[in-house]
Structures are given as structure tokens and as C-alpha cells.
Structure 1
Amino acid sequence: MNRFLDFLNRLEDKKIFYRLSKVRREAVMVEIAVPGQRWEVEFMDDGTVEIEKFLSDGGFYDEKEMDILLKEFAD
């Protein structure tokens, strides 16, 4: 728990916005968005920490991209 709270305090000290969520039964996720990146940091009940980073390619797309995304990721 100390590592979890220390991490949140460090984010707050640096004025980095975060959101807490729970996706897996055994973890709490901290979701962070910074320019050009999004991070998911999960604190597991066994004490491990998993970090996944999503990096932007810097590209911007027009409205047509919505149809492509919905078609590609629909069930």
C-alpha cells in the first residue's frame, strides 16, 4: 500500500492528472494521460506493479477515421 500511495503522491506533486480504476479482480489501476502518451499502472495484490505505456505516433486523422475504427474493433 505504501508504494501505491507514494506513487499517487508523486503524481500529485508533479501535477500529473490520474484516474483510478479496477479492471482485474486482483489489482487497482492508475490511468495517466500526458502529452503523447497514456500509461496504465496496475498495483497487484501480490505486491507487483505492471506498467503499460501507449505512445502516440503524432498523427492526426479526420472524421473518416471514426468509421474505420468502429469497423475494425466491432464485435
Structure 2
Amino acid sequence: MKNHGFGKLVTFLNQLEQERISYTLSHHRDQTIMVNVAVAGEQWEVEFFEDGSVEVERFVSNAKINGEEVFSELFAMYSDSKSHSAKLTQNAKFTTTT
């Protein structure tokens, strides 16, 4: 019988639940299921492939907290139209409601 990654996935999910570590599941690539784990200062993306292989990517925080001023960096770096986003960011007001 062919070895599938489903057993590894279920074992991992059971261990997360046993340790009371919250997670979400997502599906972004063919033949994979991703487990997203967010813990203090880190985010883990664990992908289980149909063939039994596993890929883990960790994102570790630098512990620096920013304010809304960094929104301009987000839009400048990742917008489809950089010139449009720069104007939008300069004119935008970000407010919170309570």
C-alpha cells in the first residue's frame, strides 16, 4: 500500500490539540494541506504533501511593535501600482472606532 502524508498530518494535528496549540488549515497548492500555527512571536506554515513529505517554514518576530505609519511601507512594497498606492497612502486617514 502506498504511504500517504495523511497519517503524518493527523498525528501532527492530534499533537497540536493535545498541547492546546491553536491552528488553522488551508489549501494553496495541489496535493498539499497547510497547517498554520501562530504562537507568541512566531508563525509556522507546515505543508503536508500527498506523497508523505513535509515542508516547514517559520517566521520569527523581531519583537518590534509598529504603529499605523508602517502601512505606507506595506502598500509601497506590495501594491500592483506603486505610484497609485503612494498617493493613496499619503491621502488616507486610518482611524479606529470604539
SS of the residue corresponding to residue 46 of structure 1 reads: coil
Aligned-pair identity in percent equals 40
Is 2:7 the counterpart of 1:2? yes
Aligned residue in 2 for 1:65: 70
Could you list the runs of 5+ residues in structure 1 that have no partner in the other structure? none
Give per-residue Cα distances to partners, 1:17-56, cap 9 Å, x unaligned: 0000000012000000000000000000111000000000
Higher strand share: 1
In the TM superposition, what are the counterparts of 1:1-75 in structure 2 within 5 Å? 1-75=6-80
Higher helix share: 2
Q: Taking structure 1 as the reference length, what is the TM-score of the superposition?
A: 0.95
Partner Cα distance (2:60, 2:7) in 1 = 28
Segments of 4+ moved more than 6 angstroms: none
Q: CA RMSD in A?
A: 0.7
Could you list the runs of 5+ residues in structure 2 that have no partner in the other structure? 1-5, 81-98
Q: Taking structure 2 as the reference length, what is the TM-score of the superposition?
A: 0.74
Q: Which has the larger radius of gyration?
A: 2
Number of residue pairs the alignment of both structures matches: 75
